[in-house]
Structure 1
Amino acid sequence: MNSSITQAVIDSFKTEFETALTQAQSLDELELVRINFIGRKGKLGSVMGQLKVADLETKKTFGPILNTLKQSMQQAFNDRKDNLAQLARDSQDNQERFFDVTAYKPSAHHRGGLHPYTHVTNQIQNIFLSMGYQILDGPEVEDESINFEGLNIPKDHPARDMHDTFWLNLPGKLLRTHTSNIQVHTLKNRKPPFAVVAPGRCYRHEATDASHDYVFMQTEGFVVDKNISMAHLLETARKFLNALFGRKDLTVRLRPGYFPFVEPGVEIDIRCPFCTKGCSVCKKTCWIETAGAGLIHPNVLRYAGIDPDEYSGFAFGFGLSRLAILKYHIDDIRLLHTGKMEFLSQFG
């Protein structure tokens, strides 16, 4: 057995994790522990990666041990999270119990304002309404069949993994991973032709950083009619993005991409509106990715009972969070979810 995975290494890793759990004194600190140790790119994932390429004897010896360790680490994390949450509630109760109302001096009244998401959502809706689209909404708690099978995502697709999807303690129920579920509901319940745009929240189980969060906003759009082509998609993207950024000359390009629910699939990029030679926003490439799109896959149409030989369509999914970041030059997506008035007051 020739491997860097040994019982001593595992014991040391477990001790390090337990120490980090104990030292975490807030839910934010605890979340960092989760990301570093049991997150998708955490230390446990690294050890699991070593196991995948190890010899058969090592896999037989340490596979069960690591699986048991993974479960115990997750349970220890959950227990510590419950403990810290209770401490926070107790602290809040104490503050409220001993609050001196006679000492309260209200500050000057501040007029409220709209959240950046609301500003961008309203603008997106107005643009598409002017193009003849309908605005629709749909459930955030969704059936597995609608979220996946209805969009040509097979049972063995990695998106169904626990690491990517928030599954509920209800058979076949989850938090939608995209607003494309609205496309399936519409295809099943309406007769073409139609043009729809549907902004809303999505949920994915992933580590958070400056450009990713487990809750994000997406704008799904789709058109179904006879003889719809990629040319219709490109022109729609051009009109929308130029209107959103207040431009008339914004360059839009399509490049190949893969999404199970469209064929062919493309990525929609825009020429960076903030520079001509590359900047931090476009990561020195002069191009910014804005959406995934393509022609609706025949299997998606068939699932909804629509004949793909008679009708065709295109669909796109713009990251509303990304559009808000670009429009307002926000450098960290997490600021959009903090509720901090010093940040949000800029947009009132």
Structure 2
Amino acid sequence: MVENIQQVAQEIEAAQLTNAAELEQFRIAYIGRKGRIADLFNNLKEVAPEQRREVGQQLNTLKNRAQERFDQAQEQLSSAADTTGDTGFDFSLPTVPNTLGTRHPLSLVRQEIVRIFERIGFNVAEGPEMEDDWHNFSALNFPENHPAREMQDTFFLSEDKEHLLRTHTSTVQVRLMENNQPPLRSIMPGRVYRNEAISARAHMVFHQVEGLYVNKGVSFKDLKETLYYFAKEMFGQDTQIRFRPSFFPFTEPSAEIDITCFICKGEGCNICKGSGWVEIGGSGMVDPAVLQSSGIDPEEYSGFAFGMGIERITMLKYQIKDLRLFTENDVRFLRQFEGVI
């Protein structure tokens, strides 16, 4: 037994520990639980009882020496690596570009719309996307037989059609008038839902921004001046605007909003279909019945409202021809907006 201990001690002293592989082999051979020293400890029971204490002390000394050699070699290898700067990394490899994310074009346009209207006193109001029939239809003067109430236009959430995904952000206007007294001056950007087939020009999920101004003596002239200011700020100072008579259940009189095509400057192109004008939304004076259903006296107050599709404005501003690009998350499309503020 003593001879075996002396032989292992000589091997430990003679071991070459100049690299990580040799160090690992040394650890397995002598320090590990299945190494040479562990085997010697297992054979200690075969030593005569009167010699067992002395042999045990020799084994402990041997074990401590093996651990000491291992620790010293490991420290030397670590210090050498720090000195030479050898991290094992190949610096000749090509770099990985540190790409930055971009803001979505719809977010860019929404933020710009909010900034424009905030400069003339409008604040931002928000409401729930899951609505009831009252706020989405009845309070906005939609008759019981109006086509917008049918399943082909609306995502209903209950069989009795009392709960649904809002089809416009006009629902926020109703909630604003119910819970606040005039003067009211707010815009309502948000996501809306329509039960429509997805194509290059239509989608089941899109975004709107609507505006509402209610006060004493509000006229159609105030509506025109507000939208005239918005069009120039959004599309350029040479932009012209026109109003075409239309019909909406919650406004009277009502008008569609057109601006001069900023691509051809009114001369006619494929964007404006040769007319020189492009539609951006609808507007009108708030119907007295809508004011009254929201708890506002139509004899004392009047107001105007307008609504625009954020996707529509974004497509015009950046000349995007396919509505589906906004929701497909194609990185090639989104990277075109890097650096846009």
TM-score (norm 1): 0.68
Match of 1:152 in 2: 141
Q: How far apart are residue 109 of structure 1 and its match? A: 3.5
- In structure 2, give the amino acid aligned to 1:261: F
What pairs with 1:120-269 in structure 2 (closer than 5 Å)?
120-169=109-158, 172-245=162-235, 247-269=236-258
Distance 1:277 1:209 in 2: 28
Distance 1:293 1:208 in 2: 26
What pairs with 1:259-338 in structure 2 (closer than 5 Å)?
259-275=248-264, 276-338=266-328
Match of 2:46 in 1: none
Q: How far apart are residue 107 of structure 1 and its match? A: 6.0
Distance 2:200 2:316 in 1: 13
Moved over 4 A (4+): none
Output one character per residue of 1:293-334: Cα deviation in whole Å (capped at 9) or x when no partner.
Answer: 100001100101111110000000011110000011101111
Output one character per residue of 1:136-167: Cα deviation in whole Å (capped at 9) or x when no partner.
Answer: 11110001111000100011111010000001
Distance 1:139 1:262 in 2: 22
Aligned-pair Cα RMSD in Å:
1.5
- In structure 2, give the amino acid aligned to 1:157: H
Q: How far apart are residue 207 of structure 1 and its match? A: 1.9
- In structure 1, give the amino acid aligned to 2:199: D
What percent identity do the matched residue pairs reach?
Answer: 46
SS state at 2:167 partner: coil
Distance 1:154 1:243 in 2: 37
TM-score (norm 2): 0.69
Q: How far apart are residue 170 of structure 1 and its match? A: 6.7
- In structure 2, give the amino acid aligned to 1:317: G
The count of aligned residue pairs is: 243
Distance 1:187 1:250 in 2: 33
Distance 2:334 2:226 in 1: 31
Output one character per residue of 1:14-59: Cα deviation in whole Å (capped at 9) or x when no partner.
Answer: xxxxxxxxxxxxxxxxxxxxxxxxxxxxxxxxxxxxxxxxxxxxxx
Output one character per residue of 1:39-93: Cα deviation in whole Å (capped at 9) or x when no partner.
Answer: xxxxxxxxxxxxxxxxxxxxxxxxxxxxxxxxxxxxxxxxxxxxxxxxxxxxxxx
Distance 2:240 2:286 in 1: 24
Q: Is there any run of 5+ residues in structure 1 with no aligned partner, and where?
A: 1-105
SS state at 2:248 partner: coil
Q: How far apart are residue 287 of structure 1 and its match? A: 0.7
Q: Which has the larger radius of gyration?
A: 2
SS state at 1:255 partner: strand
Distance 1:175 1:111 in 2: 35
Output one character per residue of 1:228-267: Cα deviation in whole Å (capped at 9) or x when no partner.
Answer: 111111110110111011x222110011010000000100
Q: Is there any run of 5+ residues in structure 2 with no aligned partner, and where?
A: 1-94
Task: Give the 3 Å change call, closer, same or farther, for CA 107–138 of structure 1 in structure 2.
Answer: farther
SS state at 1:279 partner: coil
